[in-house]
Structure 1
């Protein structure tokens, strides 16, 4: 089941935040091409969901203009404001055709994210046990996040996500001032809460 906790006007889109999901899969798909046994199955195991933290999840550190290079920590939001955090989870569909299409979309998304105003930090993670990928993105505001969501690169990815990603992908976002709520683990917790509400 696809989990979404998006605010209007994009709540009706079943493919929202596809680009972020594809960004996470960018960490996984190159490895799948080298090792056929690492290709995820047609139907992911029941324990492989956005609301369950993979024991073997490996993540890059947060990176981006909002990260203090001396500490590796996200700079706090300005006094009286908050950040918007988005989290995604996805498992790529198997096959060479998926990898070929993915390369097209991910290249455009990478270029978009490299210069996207309002994107403060991005973290990508992968787990070989599920063949899954996760993203955590920190935005200066919800409006900045939606500017990315409505960009040409992201809209194109939204149109293709169902071809490239297993149907149990999940996305969510929230506003916070707390660094403790800007983690992949917090994203898992919030996706799990969303999944529980949809059962």
Structure 2
């Protein structure tokens, strides 16, 4: 069973939401498969390998129920989307899950959370999240929570690099497709 198929994994991306202090390191190695560099990231916070095994969970949450037609009341013209990608340290997976699990009640209690999806690539060692919030204030309420700050301080311990970004979206753009989130992450400056 994958650690990213459970609700606690949404917080993994959000763990980075306010963590942007360390530059990404250069840990280049030579790949036996291709003879090319397979460093932890491409310098953009994205994995060097192709995530062709990406396994996303369905987008859902307190403000988005696919079984009830999607977006739930109150409807808005615009929302805030956020996405994160982490290149995880395999030896820290269990500690990472424990830290993230403590954030879940706070995340789900946030009245401004619309919905989220998580995705993982075992091949590339990446974990991704995609969340939609009613506004920036709702997102930041989670970011500054005690549980999130406690996890955020350990982000570089759990992963070698990561990127987080957020942007405005319209109601018509929801739910956001994973290719959109991945493009946004690849265009953003690495958070650490």
**CA distance in 2: counterparts of 1:53 and 1:152, whole angstroms:** 35
- Whether 1:174 and 2:170 are equivalent positions in the alignment is no
Please name the residue that 2:90 is paired with: 94
- Whether 1:190 and 2:184 are equivalent positions in the alignment is yes
Distance 1:171 1:139, change over 3 A: same
Q: Measure how far apart 1:53 and its partner are.
A: 6.5
Please name the residue that 2:12 is paired with: 20
| Alpha-carbon RMSD | 3.3
- Whether 1:49 and 2:46 are equivalent positions in the alignment is yes
Distance 1:71 1:123, change over 3 A: same
Q: Which runs of 4+ in 1 moved over 6 A?
A: none
Structure 1: state its 5+ residue gaps.
1-17, 24-41
Q: Measure how far apart 1:20 and its partner are.
A: 3.4
Q: SS state of the match for residue 61, structure 1?
A: coil
Report the number of matched residues.
Answer: 159
- Whether 1:151 and 2:168 are equivalent positions in the alignment is no
Please name the residue that 1:107 is paired with: 101
Structure 2: state its 5+ residue gaps.
1-9, 16-37
Distance 1:121 1:52, change over 3 A: farther
TM-score, normalized by length of structure 2? 0.69
- Higher strand fraction (1 or 2): 2
Contact residue 41 and residue 48 of structure 2 kept, 8 A? no
Please name the residue that 2:132 is paired with: 138
